[in-house]
Structure 1
Amino acid sequence: MSSVHAATTVAVWAAAWQAGCAPDDVLAAIDGAGHRAGVRAAGPEVAESTGLPGPGSPGAGSAALLPLLRDPAVTLLLPTAGDLRGLPVRGSIVVPALDAGAVVSLPSAGLALIPQDGFWRVYPCTGSHPAMGLREARTLLDQAVAAATATLVQLDVARESPAVHDRIRGLMLAEAVDFPPGTPRAASELLATVISLEAVLIAAGHHETGAVNSHQLAVVDDALRPLTMAVREGRRAAVAATVHAFTGTGVRTGF
């Protein structure tokens, strides 16, 4: 399971925790997403403000996350090179956030969680980046899928084989998110679509298509880049809609 899967899980279950979900259920979901080594503050200032163990100290148990997850504005960030929205321009969080590719932002507390080396590390973070509404994200995703499909068909490089199919199916199963009861159906369905497309993109990223020369590979990469962005926005929209449903906060959901 990826760091993106872990961060997604923590974000949606944080909202459920605020809505009255049993702490044992929340912790079971968080632990089930991996990163069970513990919780640590990334620096002495965060350690002092949160009471968490700092660098070099044994990690606290995952239950130490629960007080932090009371932030009603919890947000999933998916930073990548060239897109650091929601993160401070400078700060200790930037490099680990890029390495992990996923951040659970707790803007009310000025903190953020990053799944890193088996731990949940807590960093200072004061930025914000509201997600799209569900309808807007779905439209963006549909348009990106249509454009990418048209390009691949035109190049005649779409390829399906048992090995690729099995790889995609395995990725989808590994990355499936255990949503809390009460999650809006539209949000869980959008995330299921996103996970399916991410698996396809990973397969394509390993050049498991029919592209046979550098020109075709470059065209495939260009065609899939907008889809990659749309997939990231779709995941963030699904999480934001879930947070809104449980806490009544956040951006429009656009059901």
Structure 2
Amino acid sequence: MSAIRAATVLALWGGAFGEQRASADELLQQLAETGFNAGVRADDAVTAERTGLPGPGSAGAGTIDLLALLRESGTPELLLPVPGDLRGLPPKSTSVIAALDAGAAVLLPAAALLVIPTNGFWRVHDATGPEDGRGNSSAAGSVLEAELALDGAIRTATRRLMVLDIARDSASVREQIAAKMRDAAVPLPPGVRRSCSALLAKAISLQALLEVAQQHQTGAVSRHELGAVDDALRPLAAAVRFGRLAAVAHALVSRSHQEASPHHPAVHKNLNAYE
């Protein structure tokens, strides 16, 4: 059960629902498949009063209660906070720690709310910033910038690992990567641009590779070699994060630009490379 996958699904399908490209039933089905089915709960009493959601100590409301928030809250924005980069989060808020722990959150900008998938719940936090109702802008850049960053990071990581002569190409590693890709696949709502679909698929594929590599499923044996692997992969991890943010941020275009991709998970093409 991945908070990053859940937040990606909420941002994409919540945006499609708000633009009437996806039905309430479709949105609820996609949210149910994330595994975060314990309910919806406000993080504090003030947010509970603002939203009408149950607060701390109360039983969670049904996931259907997210629909009213999504309908009136503008385009959802995916956030992937990491230490040193908290863009999009309200400063000096308890939501910062929760979002860092989860690794993902979804900002509902018009409502100044932050939804964080945590321990099976969708927890709703206040996201009021000091001036305009939210924190700083997120780290999402353009699709082209993200593509270039990913391609450059792939080349750099590959070159470093080859120089270290510790890369491993085995059937078991490929199977692990393929399994992680299947688990992380994100079904796309109608209206997603092809370029964003391809970028998200690449980010998901590379995230699976990173997760396997970060478990040191390589030929590295010494502490020095393990550290070298981590150093080689760190820029790629940053580029993968940047790629997912850009893909989701630019996924939905106006109805007059129906450059839509088929209704399929964003991982379909790259999966074959690891099987």
TM-score, shorter chain, exceeding 0.5: yes
In the alignment, does 2:170 pair up with 1:168? no
Distance 2:179 2:222 in 1: 28
Offset from partner CA, 1:74-113 (integer Å, 9 cap, x none): 2111011222111123111011111100000112211100
Distance 1:182 1:34 in 2: 25
In the alignment, does 2:109 pair up with 1:95? no
Distance 1:226 1:85 in 2: 18
Name 1:81's counterpart in structure 2. Answer: 83
Amino acid at match of 1:173: R
In the alignment, does 2:27 pair up with 1:18? no
Moved over 2 A (4+): 70-73, 243-248
Distance 1:100 1:84 in 2: 13
Q: Which moved more, 1:112-121 or 1:82-91?
A: 82-91
Name 2:109's counterpart in structure 1. Answer: 107
1:243, distance to aligned residue in structure 2 (A): 3.9
- Look up the SS of the partner of 1:168 in the other structure: helix
Name 2:262's counterpart in structure 1. Answer: none
Q: What TM-score, normalized by structure 2, do the two folds share?
A: 0.87
Distance 1:207 1:219 in 2: 11
Count of paired positions: 248
- Matching of residues 140-159 of structure 1 within 5 Å: 140-159=149-168
Name 2:61's counterpart in structure 1. Answer: 60
Name 1:206's counterpart in structure 2. Answer: 215
1:28, distance to aligned residue in structure 2 (A): 0.7
- What CA RMSD, in Å, does the superposition of the two structures yield over aligned residues? 1.5
Distance 1:246 1:212 in 2: 53
Q: What TM-score, normalized by structure 1, do the two folds share?
A: 0.93
1:179 to 188, 196, 200: 188
In the alignment, does 2:127 pair up with 1:118? no
Work out whether residues 15 and 246 of structure 1, in 8 Å CA contact, stay in contact via their aligned partners in 2: no
Amino acid at match of 1:140: A
Which sections of structure 1, spanning at least 5 residues, go unmatched?
Answer: 249-255
Which sections of structure 2, spanning at least 5 residues, go unmatched?
Answer: 128-133, 258-275
Work out whether residues 72 and 247 of structure 1, in 8 Å CA contact, stay in contact via their aligned partners in 2: no
